[in-house]
Amino acid sequence: MGALFNAVADDYDQSGVDFFAPIAQGLVDELAPTSGERAVDLGCGRGAATVLLTRGVGATGSVVGLDLSEGMLAHARADLDRQGLVVDLRVGDASEPDLPTGEFDIVASSLVLFFLPEPRVALERWVHLLAPGGRIGLATFGDQDPVWGSVDREFRPWLPPAMRDPRVMGPQSHFGSDEGMEQLLSDAGATDVRTRSVRLPVRFGTVERWEAFSRGTGQRAMWASVPPDEVAGVRDRAAAHLEGARNGHGEIEVWQDIRYTLGGRPHP
């Protein structure tokens, strides 16, 4: 996974499509960091949530950003430096964060958990990072626009079984429902678990912008799985689906539900 995100790091979230930033904003809004708090962003990537957490905790607080990809962290560091923000960025595996337990007021993770091989085990470790009274927030995917689902299905004939788009894992997965995610977090030891869902409009403008967006995310691995002589056909069939999703302004617009699963660690 680290190799994939190192490969995509330069292009990640650089297509001009509003996607990762509003998702991160929604998560941080739910966690509501305050001055002086200690926060950790697990799987921080290029820092969409990290920046917001850092602004929230202020100069008297602290933020750790952890990611497996050195390339993503390099971009995060450059962006934080440009903004004059101080964050402790570390290379590390979110599945097994090498961090002190009981030390953080906030544990945040945006669009990461479904990539991990053992989500429940990882969540147990994450909950243990919380200080008493601390809170945890996760952003994962909910339902998606049928048009977007049709586009993704064009890739499926060439995808190995292990390469499942985390947006379409199905109802049998914990990630397939609010109740499943709440159960997963509760089983990991969090209390007062709840869900907030938001429907995010995603506007590509053009088919070319969609492709740039897609190749600048973890979906780059899906493109790489398609044989070279089939890529044009996949692109054309995807374009046909997307052309049917133009809004009144002529933009290609689909939607994606974002699920925020929130909980805490009680005071003793």
The pLDDT tens digits for 142-163 are: 999 999 889 989 998 988 766 6
140: nearest Cα among 98, 108, 106, 96:
108
Spell 63-79 as b/e; 16+ CB within 10 A means b. Answer: bbbbbbbebbbebbeee
Does the pLDDT of residue 79 top 70, yes or no?
Answer: yes
Distance of CA 60 to the CA centre of its chain: 27
Burial of 40: CB neighbours in 10 Å, binned 0-12, 13-18, 19+: buried
Does the pLDDT of residue 141 top 90, yes or no?
Answer: yes
Task: Please give the model's pTM, rounded to 2 decimal places.
Answer: 0.91
Average pLDDT, the chain: 91
Pairing status of strand 130-144 against strand 104-110: parallel
Instruction: Point out which residues pair with 107 in neighbouring strands.
Output: 40, 136
Q: Write down the domain spans for the chain.
A: 2-144+167-203+257-264
CB 103 within 8 A of CB 131: yes
CA angle 169, 46, 218 (to 5 degrees): 30
Q: Per the structure block, which two tokens stand in for 55? A: 């602004």
For range 99-123, the mean pLDDT: 95
Q: Is the dihedral of CA 64, 264, 20, 181 positive or negative?
A: positive
CB 219 within 8 A of CB 205: no
Instruction: Pick 2-144+167-203+257-264's CATH classification: 3.90.1150.10, 3.30.230.10, 3.40.50.150, 3.30.70.20.
Output: 3.40.50.150
pLDDT of residue 266: 86
Q: How confident is the model at residue 201 (pLDDT cuts 50, 70, 90)?
A: very high
Going through the chain in order, the beta strands assigned E by DSSP cover 38-42, 62-67, 88-91, 104-110, 130-144, 191-203, 253-264
Render 18-53 in DSSP notation, one character per residue: SSHHHHHHHHHHHH---TT-EEEEET-TT-HHHHHH
Cα torsion at 256, 152, 211, 159 (round to 10°)?
Answer: 130
pLDDT in tens, 44-70: 999 999 999 999 999 999 999 999 999
Render 94-109 in DSSP notation, one character per residue: TTS----TT-EEEEEE
Q: Per the structure block, which two tokens stand in for 233? A: 């056909």
Does the pLDDT of residue 241 top 90, yes or no?
Answer: yes
pLDDT of residue 2: 56
Other CB atoms within 10 Å distance of the CB of residue 263:
24
φ, ψ dihedrals at 45, nearest 5°: 60, -135
92 Cβ contact list (under 8 Å, min separation 6): 66, 67, 68, 98, 99
